[in-house]
Amino acid sequence: YAFTQDPSGYIAYCPCMGRFGNQADHFLGAIGFAKALNRTLLLPHWIEYRYGQQKSVQIPFDTYFKVNPLLEYHRVELMNDFMAKYSNDLWPPASRTSFCYMQRGESEGCNAKAGNPFESFWDTYGIDFSSSEFYAPLNYDVYHHDMVSKWHEKYPPSEWPVLAFVGAPASFPIQKENVEIHKYLKWNDEIDKLANSFINNRIKPGKFIGIHLRNGIDWVRACEHITKNSLLFSAPQCLGYRNEYGKATEELCYPTFETVVKQLKRLIRKYGKDISTVFVASDNNHLIPELSHALSSFDLKTVKYDRDNPHVDLAILGKADYFIGNCISSFSAFVKRERDSNGLPNEFWAFPVNQKN
Ligand code: GFB
């Protein structure tokens, strides 16, 4: 993907909010935004948090995903490549403006590098900002209100070659219009190979159900907010963006073990002897002994990936014959979008919700 400088300009941003699932939602929004503005999207590093480390770790975008399929949708370039090739003449240090909606933090301006992961992210590219720009009242919803021409008018690429956003120019959860862009996001060969070799060695022959159990302590706490905010996190993926398909329940967020087993048994009975394996992905407790015991009347095994590797877990879930995910979790939402783009079936725990509850 060799590029000459883009006269239509660039968009850079920090995926500074949340972990992988949140960042993926934001990424799809950001590329949708860049396409609408006809600017090249600079692919940021993914931001990860390691236990016991004060500062975030930045992982190159292409460590997990292929760049080329994205080009079928819109012009993109790795942030690092852009910085090495063009930054000095196109975006010299004295002209590096950070964009935010309104003042952020204690002192005047965007304070783009204040706090973690903000500082580590921009330091990855040796970027310091010389000024701030508040873009309010413009916003990222480029599908309504003539927003694209408003951005062009206020920030023409001739004067503003790079719009560098302090956070993602996108909403969370992902805007409906951007969901389909997921089909251009493809695991790179390495992740694909790890997922495939696990499937070939530990699952095949036979079909398998992939399930996502989001049950860490952070999740328990998040689910406590469920009654106050019925469209929590990725809930629109099953409830609809306007709650067309029901209101969130505690079970939708944190299904009981009984619900998990009941739903699994229903699916296994439906597809019967074809299913050889249940693959469990989890951030905390895979419940392998408990599930093996509960499903012992069926002739199948219950397995997990031997390491804590969220991306390989996601890739395996994406390839499962059937999937049951967590409607509230953006980690599950990643899987659902990928599977939808491949025409594979999905279910969510405790959905459809029992309206009597
Ligand atoms: O991906 P994520 O934004 O999804 O954050 P949610 C959850 C993180 O937990 C993932 C790990 O990025 C993984 O690091 N994780 C979750 C898993 N499920 C699995 C799994 O099945 N396998 C492995 N290996 N790791 C939101 C956060 O999480 O939860 C919000 O993004 C907030 O910032 C909220 O903290 C409570 O949408 O599930």
ipTM: 0.98
Task: Judge whether residue 357 has pLDDT over 70.
Answer: no
pLDDT per residue as tens digits for the range 1-42: 445 789 999 999 999 999 999 999 999 999 999 999 999 999
- Measured on CA atoms in the order 198, 202, 203, 204, is the torsion positive or negative? positive
**Among residues of the chain, what percentage have pLDDT more than 90?**
91
Residue 19 alpha carbon to ligand 1 centre in Å: 6
The residue assigned the tokens 């390491």 is 307
- Give pTM, 2 decimals: 0.96
Most ligand 1 atoms within 8 A of CB, residue of 16, 17, 19 to mutate: 19
Measured between alpha carbons, how far is 336 from 312 in angstroms, rounded to an integer?
A: 15
Q: Is the CB of 330 under 6 A from ligand 1?
A: yes
For strands 57-59 and 46-48, give the pairing: antiparallel
pLDDT per residue as tens digits for the range 187-221: 999 999 999 999 999 998 999 999 999 999 999 99
Q: Whose CA is nearest to atom 33 of ligand 1?
A: 18
Q: Is the CB of 219 under 6 A from ligand 1?
A: yes
Is residue 167 within 8 Å of 16, Cβ to Cβ?
A: yes
